[in-house]
Amino acid sequence: MSGWTPKRFWTAVAVAPEGEGFAVTLDGRPVRTPAKARLLVPTRAFAEEVAREWDAQEGELNPAIMPATRLANAALDKVAAQRAEVVEMLASYGASDLLCYRAEAPERLVERQRTAWDPLLAWSAEALGADLATGSGVMPVQQAPGDLQRLREPLEQMDVFELAAIHDLVALSGSLVLALAVAQGRLSAEEAWRLSRVDEDFQIEEWGEDEEAAEAAARRRGDFLNAARFHAQLTPRRPRM
C-alpha cells in the first residue's frame, strides 16, 4: 500500500504574532512540526518566508520545495532537543577547517588557495581572535585549543534557528570560518560559496566538468544560498566587516 501524501486543504496563509515570535497559520490554524510542536519562529521576515512556501503549494504537499519550513522543523524538533551536541559538532569543524589544508602542488593551485583563503584566516585572527595554522600533506593540522574555543563562542550565542541555518553553511562548505564570515557579514553567500570551491573549480579547469557532479554542485549551491538567506532573516542585520 502506498503512503498517504497530504494535499492542500487550506485557502489562506497568514503570519500572526504570538508571544515573542511569529506563527504561520492555515485558515487560522497554526502550522505544526512533524513532532507536533507549534511552528513558532523568532522573526517576521522568516515567518513570511515560511508562509510563502505554504502558499505556493498546489495539490500534494511537496516538502522538497519548502527549505525554510524544513529548517524551522529541524530547529524545533531536533536542534532544540540536543543543542549542546549541535554546537559541539559544528565547533569541531574548526579543527579541520577547509581553509587550513593546502595543496603541495601544482604551484598554480597553491597560489590560488593562498590568494583566496589567507585574507579569511587574517579576518578570523583579527575579528574572531582565532589565529589558525595551515599545513599541507596528509598530516592533520594542529590548532591551539584557545583558537578553537574562540571559534566556538559565536556558535554558543546562537539560538536553535540560527544554529540550524549555520549548520548548512558549515557542512556544505567544509569551513566554520567561511560560515562565520557569512553570518557576521564579512562575506556574501556567493563569495563564500566561490571560496569553498577553489579546489573543485581548479580540477574542472584541468580535467573538465562531469555533468552529474555539476548538477550536484548546483543543488548544494542552492542549499547554501538558502541557508545564508534564512540566517540573515533570523538575526539582526550587521555591517560588513
Q: Of the residues 65, 90, 113, which one is the last residue of a structural domain? A: 65
109 and 46 share a domain? no
121 and 172 share a domain? yes
Question: Residue 183 — φ and ψ, nearest 5°?
Answer: -60, -35
Cell 593540522, residue located: 141
89 and 61 share a domain? no
CATH code, domain carrying 61: 3.30.2180.10
> Residue 241 falls within a domain, yes or no?
no
60 and 94 share a domain? no
| DSSP secondary structure letter of residue 21 | E
50 and 91 share a domain? no
Alpha helices in 24-91 (DSSP H): 44-55, 67-74, 83-91
> Residue 72 falls within a domain, yes or no?
no
> Residue 196 falls within a domain, yes or no?
yes
Q: Could you state, in chain order, the average pLDDT of each consecutive group of 10 residues for the chain (241 residues)?
A: 66 94 95 95 97 93 93 98 97 97 96 98 98 92 97 97 97 98 97 98 92 94 97 68 35
> Residue 227 falls within a domain, yes or no?
yes
Per-residue confidence (pLDDT) for residue 1, from 0 to 100: 37
Q: Of the residues 39, 65, 91, which one is the last residue of a structural domain? A: 65
21 and 86 share a domain? no
Per-residue confidence (pLDDT) for residue 5, from 0 to 100: 60
> Residue 73 falls within a domain, yes or no?
no
102 and 194 share a domain? yes
210 and 109 share a domain? yes
102 and 192 share a domain? yes
45 and 98 share a domain? no
The total of structural domains in the chain comes to: 2
> Residue 91 falls within a domain, yes or no?
yes
> Residue 224 falls within a domain, yes or no?
yes
> In 3D, which of 54, 82, 84 has the Cα closest to residue 67?
54
CATH code, domain carrying 178: 1.10.3580.10
- Range(s) of the domain holding residue 57: 1-65
194 and 90 share a domain? yes
C-alpha cell at 86: 549541535
Per-residue confidence (pLDDT) for residue 239, from 0 to 100: 37
> Residue 239 falls within a domain, yes or no?
no
Per-residue confidence (pLDDT) for residue 2, from 0 to 100: 45
- Rounded Cα gap, residues 98 and 121, in angstroms: 11
- Rounded Cα gap, residues 192 and 78, in angstroms: 27
Per-residue confidence (pLDDT) for residue 107, from 0 to 100: 96
Q: Of the residues 40, 65, 90, which one is the last residue of a structural domain? A: 65
91 and 54 share a domain? no
